[in-house]
Every structure is written in structure tokens, then in C-alpha cells.
């Protein structure tokens, strides 16, 4: 697009206009009304013959949004820029609107990472198995993934402010129930409700920003939202680890309550109500229920297969129900007028390739985030605070390199960075497989974290750009929302499948290890009965110290064997992402 700067325009206004066009995927060239490429109107103190450098800075601003956050999902900003400002707020209210949406988004983003740090503590406190703690994570993630697109539709029809407040309230109430849970089943049930609340508040926060800020103000709003949300997400695991270490794992959930109260007050006080006037039809409830039932059935079968067997009638029944529901979901979505998932969009080569890449890469990433804190706390004997801080270099790298990575698509096209980034990430996952028991962080895990952070920093911005550029006109929001949901679905499937791998490998190593230790058959049987707890197995106190230490080491070595295999599979998934980019994605869609 040729952008004419032949009329009086302030520097800030000109920059915002150019930024908005760049965010829509246009390549902008500025010139005066005579077409000379320069103007007497200064911009940042320079004539427009230096506009190329200025446009590069604008492109950097756009890119800087795409790589912030710990495990923040891709394409969030695409949802924001895709919608019109239907209820623009006043300049006085703007900071309060941002505060409400940043704090609300942070509730969900932090919860997705802090709970992983809390798993070893609640496993010990609630006498939970690894299958139980899988469900603690999966109950939340499954309902969030299945209902995320429905949450956005509800806000369009019934009011974004109303649905957002409802989502925050449900999330807060469920957090309180999580904190007061007396057993693992109560905690899992509360986490499921928490996932429903997150499905309402996550799309609501993005939609409120879009509706509350006019197009020329939206660039700064997105940048502020992205940067501050990233900061809170980074602090979350460290704060959560400190609370676990010095108070209780329950405070990981209780800390949500005052934040939620502030969000609700700010939203009711300052955020204007908005709706989508074109959203005449309600959400696709049939599609949402089929998607939730399908995912729940498959995930249940995958997780329970470790405790039962694949021949168990219950496992077979849930697997068949899940597969049938997903087949029905695809059939319904291909025929309904307002589908939750427009399946025809996957005919676009780059869109299909980018989502397949997302599925592979975020499966690997979520598997690492689930098992890594267990390794650090239960095997390496890190404190919860240290475990929460272990991934800080990952966050720092993604933040510092975001501007640089955002320009890779312009220089090299999408295909090359989407091949190279996952290859670097694959090397990072492979490095996680090297440390043994008693590994020193700075010489073992730190290089792995840095390599993984570098790979993800290279990948995320080009991935987001590829997804958004593959969208048809007027469908950027839908396209971004689908990719966001795919990244969450990847986590749901990864934890279930990699859990099978982890538990199977752990059992295969533990049984022969215990056979080499001179313990009674009674003790061996007691230990074997706890195998489903992985490294949280409690060694009986009625045996001598040397034997107890030998048993403890056997348990730790068995966990390390399983963790290594999981990380190597994660590395393979990252390489599959690179292969997808090579074979499917075109640099110029």
C-alpha cells in the first residue's frame, strides 16, 4: 500500500496509521502528495526520505507483541486487530480498561504455568498419583480448549463486558474451591470449572481491547497489553514457587481472589459494554458440546489406559465415544451456518500447515512444562521457588529477541524461520535429556532452557504472521482464534500421551532396579503398588538407611529414564514441526 503523507498529520498519528496498516499485513510506502518520497512535515525529526528505517521500527513494534510471555498462545494480537472499535473508551478510562484486561488475562496465563510448579506439593499433600495430577492439569486445559471459541461468541452476542465479568467471577469462585479442596477429586472438579471461567475471560479480554480502542490507538494498547501480560506471566511461577515453599500450594489458587476482585471492580467501573452487531446467531452449542465430549472421551481413555489396560471395557468405551463425538463434530461443522470451526479454512495451505506445526511444537512444549518441575523438585531436590525460576531465561530470551524475530518473515519469508526455529528448539529439548541425578543447573539445564528459548523466539513471530496472512478478508479473528485453540489442544493431548510414555518407561526400569536390591517381597510389593506416583513414591521407613537410599536412587533413575524419553520425543515433535514448514508452508502465501 502507498501511504500518502500530503496533509498535516502529527508524528504520533502518522506512526499509528502506518502501524495499523502494517499490522494488517500491508507493505507501506510513504510519499508526499507529489510522490517524491519526502515531505517538509517531519516525523521523529527526520525527513521522509528515511522512511524505510521508520517503517522498520513500526514493523518491530508489531513483531514485539508476538513473542512475549512464557507459554502465551500464538495469534492473540490477531484477535484484537480483527475487530472494530464498537465502544471506544475515553482517554481517561483507557488506562483502567488496560489494567482490567491485563490483570484478567494474567489470571489465566499464570494459572497455566504456576500449577505445574505446584504439582509435586499437592501430589504429596493429597496422596495423588501421576494420573491424578494429569487430570488436575487436563480438566482445566480441556474445557478451556473446547470452549474458547464459544466464549468469544457469547461476548459478541450478550455483551463482552458482561461475559468477561462472568468469566472472572467463575474463575475466582473455582480458584477458592481449588484452595479449599480436601481431596484430589474435589480439586479436579474445581479445576474443570476454572477452565470454563478461563474460556469466558480469555477471549473477552482481547475483545474488550479491540472494542475499546480506536484503530489509531490500538497499536499502543496491544503493545502495553502484551508487554505487561508477559511480565506478570514471568513473575507468576517464581511467586507461585515462593508461596508453595513458604506457605502452601493452596495459596497458588487463593492469590487469584484479590486479583479477580480488582478486575471485576475495574471492569464494572470503567469498561464500556460492547457487542458485535453482526452476531445475530448464538454460539454453536452443538459443536462445542461435541468437541468437549470428543476430547474428554479420548483424553480419559489415554490417561486411564496407564492404570487399566487398553483391553479394559471402560477404556474402549470412552475411546469409541470420543472418536464418534469428534466425527460428529466435523460433520456438524461442515453443515452449520455459523460453525465453531470452519473446516473449509483448512483448505488454505499455509493455514493448515501453520496449525499442524503449532500442534507438533506446542505438544512438545507443554510436555516439557508438565514434567520438568517434577524432575527439578522430586528428583533434583530443587526448592519450589528455584523450580519456578528455572525457566526465566526462556522468558527473557523470547522478550529480548522478539523485535529481531519479527523481521525474519520480511527478510527471508515464512518458510525458513519456521524450519530453523523448530530445529533449534529440537536441540533444546534434546539437551534436557542429558542431565543425570544431582545435575548442576548452570551447566546442564540452563543451556537447554536457553536453546529452547532461542528456538521458540525464532518461531513464534513468523508463525503468528503466517497464520494471520493466510486469513481471508474479514476472518482474521476466526483464524487467530482457531490457532490459539490448536495450541491449547496440543497441551491437552501431549500431557495425556506423554504421560503414558513416562509411566511405561518408569515401570520398565523400576521393576528390575528393585529386583537388584536386597529387600523383602513385602517391601517390593508395597513399592510396586505405588509406581503410579512416579518419583513421589514413599519409601517405607521400616528399613535401614542404606537400603532406603538405594531404593530412592532406583526411583530417581527410573524417573530420569522416562523423562529422557519424553524429551527425545519432544525433540522429534519439534523436528516434525520443521518438516511441516519445509513441506507445506510457502513463504509467500
> Can you tell me the mean pLDDT for 63-85?
50
Q: Among 161-170, 184-193, 196-205, 255-264, whose mean pLDDT is lowest?
A: 196-205
Percent of the chain whose pLDDT exceeds 90: 42
Q: For residues 574 and 563, give the distance between their C-alpha atoms in angstroms, rounded to a whole number.
A: 16
Using alpha carbons, list the distances in angstroms from residue 33 to 16, 17, 42, 492, 534: 19, 17, 15, 54, 70
Please give the pLDDT value at position 524: 83
Q: Among 180-189, 227-236, 255-264, 358-367, whose mean pLDDT is lowest?
A: 227-236
Q: Among 42-46, 205-209, 243-247, 538-542, whose mean pLDDT is lowest?
A: 42-46
Domain 341-589 has CATH 3.80.30.20: no
> Can you tell me the mean pLDDT for 551-567?
95
Element (H, E) at 544: none
Q: Which tops the pLDDT comparison, 19 or 491?
A: 491
Shared fold status for 84-283 and 341-589: yes
Please give the pLDDT value at position 37: 43
Digit-coded pLDDT (tens) for 214-254: 766 766 776 677 667 777 777 788 888 999 999 999 999 99
Of the candidates 266, 365, 283, 418, the one whose C-alpha atom is nearest the C-alpha of residue 567 is 365
Q: For residues 390 and 370, give the distance between their C-alpha atoms in angstroms, rounded to a whole number.
A: 13
Q: For residues 318 and 311, give the distance between their C-alpha atoms in angstroms, rounded to a whole number.
A: 12
Strand partners, 43: 46
Q: Cα 241 to chain center, whole Å?
A: 19
Compute the mean pLDDT over every residue in the chain, rounded to the nearest whole number: 81
Confidence band, pLDDT 50/70/90 cuts, at residue 24: very low
> Can you tell me the mean pLDDT for 160-168?
91
> Can you tell me the mean pLDDT for 9-23?
45
Enter the DSSP assignment of 379: I
Q: How would CATH label the architecture of 84-283?
A: Up-down Bundle (1.20)
Digit-coded pLDDT (tens) for 413-440: 888 999 999 999 999 999 999 999 988 8
Please give the pLDDT value at position 589: 47
Of the candidates 398, 94, 399, the one whose C-alpha atom is nearest the C-alpha of residue 221 is 94
- Whether the predicted pLDDT of 61 surpasses 80: no
> Can you tell me the mean pLDDT for 282-310?
87
Q: Among 19-28, 266-275, 444-453, whose mean pLDDT is lowest?
A: 19-28
Q: For residues 149 and 485, give the distance between their C-alpha atoms in angstroms, rounded to a whole number.
A: 8
Digit-coded pLDDT (tens) for 302-357: 998 888 888 889 999 999 999 999 999 999 988 888 787 888 888 888 889 999 99
Please report, for the chain, the start and end positions of each structural domain, with discontinuous segments joined by +: 2-64, 84-283, 291-339, 341-589
Q: Which tops the pLDDT comparison, 79 or 299?
A: 299
Confidence band, pLDDT 50/70/90 cuts, at residue 66: very low
User: Which residues, at least 6 apart from 57, have a Cβ–Cβ distance to it below 8 Å?
Assistant: none
Of the candidates 497, 525, 501, 499, the one whose C-alpha atom is nearest the C-alpha of residue 511 is 525
Look up cell 480439586; give the residue: 187
Q: For residues 467 and 418, give the distance between their C-alpha atoms in angstroms, rounded to a whole number.
A: 12
> Can you tell me the mean pLDDT for 156-166?
87
Digit-coded pLDDT (tens) for 496-554: 999 999 999 999 999 888 888 887 888 888 888 888 899 889 888 888 888 889 999 99
For residue 156, give the C-alpha cell. Answer: 459478541
Please give the pLDDT value at position 54: 43
Of the candidates 154, 137, 254, 266, the one whose C-alpha atom is nearest the C-alpha of residue 201 is 154
Burial-class residue 335 by CB neighbours within 10 Å (0-12, 13-18, 19+): exposed
Amino acid at each position: 500500500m502507498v501511504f500518502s503523507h500530503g496533509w498535516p498529520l502529527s508524528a504520533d498519528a502518522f506512526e499509528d496509521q502506518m502501524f495499523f496498516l502494517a499490522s494488517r499485513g500491508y507493505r507501506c510506502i510513504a510519499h508526499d502528495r507529489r510522490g517524491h518520497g519526502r515531505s517538509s512535515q517531519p516525523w521523529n525529526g527526520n525527513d521522509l526520505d528515511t522512511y524505510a528505517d521508520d517503517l522498520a521500527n513500526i514493523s518491530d513494534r508489531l513483531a514485539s507483541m508476538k513473542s512475549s510471555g512464557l507459554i502465551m498462545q500464538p495469534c492473540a494480537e490477531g484477535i484484537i486487530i480483527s475487530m472494530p472499535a464498537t465502544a471506544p473508551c475515553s482517554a481517561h478510562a483507557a488506562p483502567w480498561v488496560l489494567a482490567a484486561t491485563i490483570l484478567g488475562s494474567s489470571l489465566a496465563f499464570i494459572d497455566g504455568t504456576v500449577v505445574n510448579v505446584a504439582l509435586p506439593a499437592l501430589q504429596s499433600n493429597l496422596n495423588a498419583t501421576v494420573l491424578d495430577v494429569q487430570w488436575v492439569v487436563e480438566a482445566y486445559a480441556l474445557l478451556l480448549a473446547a470452549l474458547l471459541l464459544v466464549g468469544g461468541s457469547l461476548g459478541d452476542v450478550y455483551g463482552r463486558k458482561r461475559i468477561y465479568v462472568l468469566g472472572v467471577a467463575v474463575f475466582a469462585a473455582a480458584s477458592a474451591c481449588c484452595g479449599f479442596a480436601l481431596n484430589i477429586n474435589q480439586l479436579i472438579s474445581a479445576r474443570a470449572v476454572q477452565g470454563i471461567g478461563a474460556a469466558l475471560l480469555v477471549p473477552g479480554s482481547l475483545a474488550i481491547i479491540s472494542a475499546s480502542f480506536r484503530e489509531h490507538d490500538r497499536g499502543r494498547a496491544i503493545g502495553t497489553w502484551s508487554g505487561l501480560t508477559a511480565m506478570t506471566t514471568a513473575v507468576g511461577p517464581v511467586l507461585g514457587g515462593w508461596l508453595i515453599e513458604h506457605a502452601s500450594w493452596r495459596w497458588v489458587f487463593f492469590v487469584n481472589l484479590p486479583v479477580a476482585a480488582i478486575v471485576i471492580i475495574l471492569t464494572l467501573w470503567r469498561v464500556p459494554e460492547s457487542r458485535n452487531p453482526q452476531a445475530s446467531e448464538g454460539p454453536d452449542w452443538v459443536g462445542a458440546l461435541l468437541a468437549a465430549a470428543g476430547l474428554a472421551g479420548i483424553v480419559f481413555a489415554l490417561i486411564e489406559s496407564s492404570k487399566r489396560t487398553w483391553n479394559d471395557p471402560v477404556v474402549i468405551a470412552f475411546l469409541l465415544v470420543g472418536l464418534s463425538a469428534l466425527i460428529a463434530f466435523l460433520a456438524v461443522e461442515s453443515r452449520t451456518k455459523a460453525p465453531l470451526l470452519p473446516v473449509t479454512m483448512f483448505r488454505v495451505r499455509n493455514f493448515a500447515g501453520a496449525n499442524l506445526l503449532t500442534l507438533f511444537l506446542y505438544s512438545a512444549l507443554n510436555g516439557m512444562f508438565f514434567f520438568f518441575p517434577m524432575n527439578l523438585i522430586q528428583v533434583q531436590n530443587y526448592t519450589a521457588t528455584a523450580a519456578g525460576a528455572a525457566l526465566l531465561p526462556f522468558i527473557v530470551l523470547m522478550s529480548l529477541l522478539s523485535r529481531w524475530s519479527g523481521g525474519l518473515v520480511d527478510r527471508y519469508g515464512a518458510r525458513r524461520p519456521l524450519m530453523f526455529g523448530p530445529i533449534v528448539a529440537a536441540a533444546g529439548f534434546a539437551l534436557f535429556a542429558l542431565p543425570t541425578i544431582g545435575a548442576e543447573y548452570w551447566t546442564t539445564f540452563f543451556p537447554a532452557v536457553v536453546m529452547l528459548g532461542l528456538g521458540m523466539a525464532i518461531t513464534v513471530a513468523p508463525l503468528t504472521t503466517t497464520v494471520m496472512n493466510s486469513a481471508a478478508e474479514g476472518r482474521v479473528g476466526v483464524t487467530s482464534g482457531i490457532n490459539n485453540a490448536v495450541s491449547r489442544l496440543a497441551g491437552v493431548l501431549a500431557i495425556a500421551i506423554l504421560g503414558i510414555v513416562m509411566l511405561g518407561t518408569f515401570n520398565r526400569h523400576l521393576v528390575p532396579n528393585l529386583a537388584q536390591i536386597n529387600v523383602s517381597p513385602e517391601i517390593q510389593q508395597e513399592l510396586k503398588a505405588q509406581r503410579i506416583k512416579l518419583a513421589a513414591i514413599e519409601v517405607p521407613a521400616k528399613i535401614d538407611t542404606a537400603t532406603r537410599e538405594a531404593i530412592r536412587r532406583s526411583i530417581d533413575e527410573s524417573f530420569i529414564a522416562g523423562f529422557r524419553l519424553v524429551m527425545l520425543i519432544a525433540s522429534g515433535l519439534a523436528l516434525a514441526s520443521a518438516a511441516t514448514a519445509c513441506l507445506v508452508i510457502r513463504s509467500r502465501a
